[in-house]
Amino acid sequence: MLKSEFRSNKLSRREMLLTTMTGLGATALLTFSDPLSAGTLLQGASGEKLKGRLKQSVCRWCYRDIPLDDLARAASEIGLKGIDLVEPNDWPTVKKYGLVPTMTTGAGTIPDACNRKDLHDKLEKQFQETIPRAAEHGLPNVITFSGNRRGMSDGEGIENCVTMLNRVKGLAEKHNVMICLELLNSKVNHKDYMCDHTAWGVEVIKRVNSPRVKLLYDIYHMQIMEGDIIRTIRDNFQYIAHFHTGGVPGRNEIDDTQELNWRTVAKAIADLGFTGYFAHEFVPKRDPLKSLREAALLCDV
């Protein structure tokens, strides 16, 4: 197994993806000396509602030590609109608090996905299950990946990903569900991952040419790989359906310990008229829900 994104005695998001083709999620590096009561969990979550110019969400895996019921209640009170990377058993809990399960599994894992022709039949069957199910329950997005290179050229990888996504784009269009191909860094967290630069991902999306196949632009990962975040987003906005956040370095709070001006980034995205979801995917080092509220307020532009 490759070095995981976050090392602990628990499964990381990456390790869960390596374990199952249909499972997402991981245990974040959050530890608490005492069980958290609902009151403690919600501390710092109350206050003025967000203006909502950006529809903000939060990734479930970063808060695995918080019961989903408590996380969803706190997210709703903060003014978030959804929770990312949640699976079917958790959808009712998310919806109970008026939130949207904003992203769920589509097909594949980070290392084994669309660039592998030998997996295309298997991936198509997974999409045939996950896309209609997402549509039935009102979910807007399903996630997928390029897969690792394993010596494959950029050109071959693009061709294979386009072939795979062409097989299922009609299904996504029929059900009005977005297939999101995620951009990840191959420098720090996901060694050998193929879709590790915006230009590569955009080329795939251009060739597939579907309104229901676009990129999940993870700002954390792309800051590591190429920087120039705002200009890149502006130049490729039409190919992006979803955003993830995360502080660089370390993927922790998006505060003054990080190298990006997150408020400026959020404003640039909002100014483009973005109507999708802007999901926080950082691992808190401090009080998790206080950090989440601070991030939401920072990006409430």
The CATH number given to whatever domain includes residue 137 is 3.20.20.150
36 found inside a domain: no
Q: Of 193, 180, 271, 173, whose CA–CA distance to 14 is shortest?
A: 193
Say if residue 166's pLDDT is above 70: yes
Contact 165, 181 (CB under 8 A): yes
State the total domains in the chain.
Answer: 1
pLDDT of 298 reads: 97
101 found inside a domain: yes
225 found inside a domain: yes
Which band of pLDDT confidence, cut at 50, 70 and 90, is reported for residue 47? low
Instruction: Give mean pLDDT, residues 201-219.
Output: 98
**Model confidence pLDDT, tens digit, residues 239-268:** 999 999 999 999 999 999 999 999 999 999
Residue 81, domain extent: 13-27+44-298
Which band of pLDDT confidence, cut at 50, 70 and 90, is reported for residue 177? very high
Cα 213 to the chain's mean position, in Å? 15
Backbone angles phi, psi at 173, to 5 degrees: -65, -40
pLDDT of 25 reads: 34
39 found inside a domain: no
Contact 292, 41 (CB under 8 A): no
Instruction: Give mean pLDDT, residues 25-35.
Output: 32
Mean pLDDT of the chain: 88
Q: Beta strand 141-144 with 277-280: parallel, antiparallel or unpaired?
A: unpaired
pLDDT of 48 reads: 64
34 found inside a domain: no
191 found inside a domain: yes
120 found inside a domain: yes
153 found inside a domain: yes
